[in-house]
Structure 1
Amino acid sequence: MADPVVIVVGNEKGGAGKSTLAIHIVTGLLHAGKRVAIIDLDLRQRSMSRFFANRAAWTSANGQTLPMPVEPDMGDGKELARAAEAEQLARFEVAFAEARAIADFILIDTPGGDTVLSRAAHGLADQIVTPMNDSFVDFDLLGQVDPVTLELQKPSIYSESVWEARKHRAITQGRNAAIDWIVVVNRMAVAAARNRQRLEERMEKLARRVGFRIGPGLRDRVIYRELFPFGLTVADLSNEVRPVAVSLAHVAARQELRSLMLALGLDGGQLDAPLDAAA
């Protein structure tokens, strides 16, 4: 069995949509027939873990069958958050080894902030996916701009963290083991704005400087949130699975997810399946 692809969803800023992005990537992979293992390193919140617990409960209650990832047991998250760093790393290493033995893909959701577990996960990544909101507030963790001219000055703290992860991977696995880093603008407002144009220009300059790709994100749609309590995403919707009324907005959201999957180099073809919607 070939080594699994390790995808780390990371950004040191909270509220950027990491868990939303993570659960959509996982369900996209599951519907593409991939064996997926998940590790949720946001030990206190555990949004991704809760999402898939909701999924198991909803499908059981409604007599439905949907693909599920495997989640190695790291114990109680809140308890582990209070443990020493050595204990946290030890449990993560055991969980990662279990995931590596059974999965085609390992998806790791990381917390907002710099933690020992987040650094360890980034060092193992084949691909890092960084969501950010359509804002210079979020961009500040990637790059610093001049407060007068808004010209890009230098990479910021999260870019430096990814650089360290790339350096660690090159040392431990060789120079050919490069990390593919993709930054996606998540929760983007529908209307275009002058501020977005400014932000996009700085993003492109920083991308060339520190070496990331810019990919399509997920717009700020209610439908991405309304399905969370059921443990479902737009990838799951079908004529049989539709806990909410399906509209044209759901169809558009599936195409957004398909575009994201393709930008990550993942299979998004299953999202082309027709979804009947009320006009």
Structure 2
Amino acid sequence: MAGKVITVAQQKGGSGKTTLAAHLALGFRAEGKTVALIDLDPQGSLGRWYVTRFENDEASCEGLEFSTSSAWGISMEVRKMANACDIVIVDTPPKVDSDLRPALRVAHLVVVPVSAGHMDLWATEGVMDLAARENRPILLVMNRTRAGTRLGAEVNEAAKQLGAPVAEAMIAQRVGYAEAMGHGRGALEMRGPAREEIAALVAEVAERLNAG
């Protein structure tokens, strides 16, 4: 396979997986990469985002492919997309079971969003365990952070004790992310600090992919 594969996974719902997957895709495309998105989540939120984007501005989907897959078919779908694109990003359902393992198995890097709450940290351990069984590298991304809060500092410090790398780039709690997603866009396509956040995270993820 030519392209690098990123699987975005988290056991707990509401962690921001789909938002992170979409913004990573747009961030890599802004760097001149061709990107494929694969939606494994039956809720289909990533697919709805892509369709909304396509319907609003077909040209905005240039260099951005999309498909869906089942757990058992993900290996074949990833192989097909990786032969055509530089980066493949897989968005998974919010669960940790045997269905998730094929999506982890095909990944060059497993990205796990962790919202600023202890329950997200507890849920992260299940994903870490499955990724370890598949011998896949993992990167925790602190998501929906609130600067200057005691809870945020506690969760960030606790995440560092889990034994997996924690991205230096953090994604803040911003209304702009949700607003942009609702219109099939990305926050980095608008003015504001979100552009720098996503660019920093993409650079960090790219570095890990290239080192792997």
- TM bin, normalised by shorter chain, reads 0.7 to 0.9
Question: What is the aligned partner in structure 1 of residue 199 from structure 2?
Answer: 258
CA displacement, residues 171-218 of structure 1 (integer Å, 9 cap, x when unaligned): xxxxxxxx432111111123x2233333233222223xxx32333232
CA displacement, residues 90-130 of structure 1 (integer Å, 9 cap, x when unaligned): x3233222212211111001110024442101111111111
Larger radius of gyration: 1
Question: What is the aligned partner in structure 2 of residue 175 from structure 1?
Answer: none
Question: What is the aligned partner in structure 1 of residue 160 from structure 2?
Answer: 204
Question: How far is 1:67 from its partner?
Answer: 2.8
Question: What is the aligned partner in structure 2 of residue 125 from structure 1?
Answer: 107
Is the alpha carbon distance of 1:200 and 1:54 closer, same or farther for their aligned partners in structure 2, counting shifts above 3 Å? same
Matched, 1:231 2:172: no
Question: What is the aligned partner in structure 2 of residue 49 from structure 1?
Answer: 47
Return the structure number with greater relative CO, CA threshold 8 A, min gap 6. Answer: 2
Unmatched runs of 5 consecutive residues or more in structure 2? 208-212
CA displacement, residues 198-256 of structure 1 (integer Å, 9 cap, x when unaligned): 3233222223xxx323332321111111112321113334xxxxxxxxxxxx3211111
State how far apart, in whole Å, the 2-side matches of 1:133 and 1:16 are.
Answer: 6
**How large is the Cα RMSD of the aligned pairs?**
2.0
2:131 to 162, 166, 177: 162
Query: Is the CA contact (8 Å cut-off) linking 1:189 and 1:220 kept in structure 2?
Result: yes
Unmatched runs of 5 consecutive residues or more in structure 1? 75-79, 81-87, 143-155, 167-178, 238-249, 267-279
> Which amino acid counterpart does residue 189 of structure 1 have in structure 2?
R
Give the TM-score of the pair, scaled to structure 2.
Answer: 0.88
Aligned length: 207
2:167 to 199, 214, 229: 214
State how far apart, in whole Å, the 2-side matches of 1:117 and 1:106 are.
Answer: 19
Matched, 1:3 2:29: no
2:120 to 135, 138, 148: 138
Matched, 1:181 2:163: no
> Which amino acid counterpart does residue 141 of structure 2 have in structure 1?
V
Question: How far is 1:66 from its partner?
Answer: 4.9
Secondary structure of the corresponding residue to residue 94 of structure 2: coil
Question: How far is 1:73 from its partner?
Answer: 5.3
Fraction of identical pairs, as percent:
24
Question: How far is 1:164 from its partner?
Answer: 0.9
State how far apart, in whole Å, the 1-side matches of 2:189 and 2:176 are.
Answer: 13
Is the alpha carbon distance of 1:181 and 1:215 closer, same or farther for their aligned partners in structure 2, counting shifts above 3 Å? farther
CA displacement, residues 51-106 of structure 1 (integer Å, 9 cap, x when unaligned): 1111110014xxx54534222454xxxxx6xxxxxxx51x3233222212211111
Is the alpha carbon distance of 1:67 and 1:206 closer, same or farther for their aligned partners in structure 2, counting shifts above 3 Å? same
